[in-house]
Amino acid sequence: MIECTVWWSSPLPNEPKYLELLDSLEKGRHEAYRQEIDQRRFLTGRVLAKTVAAEHLGTTADKITFDATCDDCGKPHGVPRVPGAALALSISHSGEMIGVGVTAGTKLGLDVETATRRADDSLIEYALNPAEMAGLAGLGAEARATAFFTYWTRKEALMKATGRGLKIPLKAITLSKYDEQAALLNSEDPALDPAGTRLEDLKAGEGYRAAVAFLTSDDVSVTERWWTP
């Protein structure tokens, strides 16, 4: 059984006690954001991820240094990892929710999205294939948005688990219906095999949809917790 914990937090303030946990590259990324809320989301993701990693590794957050080198371009915006540690992390944020998922090494992808905004036709056509789009027929605007962002978070979680992101076309994967148990039914991309993936919807919070995906054929147990600094 694969054990996963997903920790949720609201955005931390830009205070010295949190900022000092960022390394020089992370501080550069933090300062590059023009909007304060974007700075705070990035800061919270890193501080929470370091706190979670430290708890798993028996140390303190100030001793954790991430390697976030992108496998494709070499820039520091890839998946954060602790070199040499049997640990896998995934960070996601939207609105007032920041989440960090952690396992003892099984690759995972976490995604959270605000589900209160409108799901316009162009976005739906971009993300869903005909079989999935058919499931939205007849829904009112609010139910349509909730259903769409259920699909969207599941797909984003799967893509993040592979580390390839949107290099996998969203329409290339087919998911179970939005109101059914989350599952990958079919994939046209070799990076995702239905037999070797696990997918779970999360509770997150009111007005949000979230999902976590794993590259494994084993059963998975997911626990959600709220983090208080």
What pLDDT is stored for residue 78 in this prediction?
77
Residue 163 pLDDT exceeds 90: no
Burial class (CB in 10 A: 0-12, 13-18, 19+), 132: buried
63-69 LR contacts (CB < 8 Å, sep 24+):
65/23, 66/23, 66/26, 68/25
Cα separation of 214 and 218, whole Å? 9
- 120 pLDDT above the threshold of 90: no
Residue 105 pLDDT exceeds 90 = yes
Residue pair 22/46 in contact (Cβ under 8 Å)? The answer is yes
pLDDT tens, residue by residue, 48-91: 999 999 999 999 999 999 988 877 777 777 789 999 999 999 99
- The total domain count for the chain is 1
pLDDT at 150 over 90: yes
Question: Could you give the dihedral angle defined by the CA atoms of residues 215, 221, 225 and 227, in that order, rounded to the nearest 10 degrees?
Answer: -40
Token duo for residue 68: 């976030």
Residue-number span of the structural domain to which 218 is assigned? 2-226
Token pair 């027929």 is found at 137
Q: What is the mean pLDDT of residues 111-123?
A: 89
Does residue 132 register a pLDDT over 80? yes
The pLDDT value given to residue 79: 86
Q: What is the CATH number of the domain that holds 133?
A: 3.90.470.20
Contact between 110 and 154 (Cβ < 8 Å): no
Dig out the tokens for 30 from the structure.
């933090």
Residue-wise pLDDT tens digits, 171-211: 999 999 999 999 999 999 998 999 999 999 999 989 999 99
How confident is the model over 3-31, as pLDDT tens digits?
A: 999 999 999 999 999 999 999 999 999 99
Q: Is the pLDDT assigned to residue 123 strictly greater than 80?
A: yes
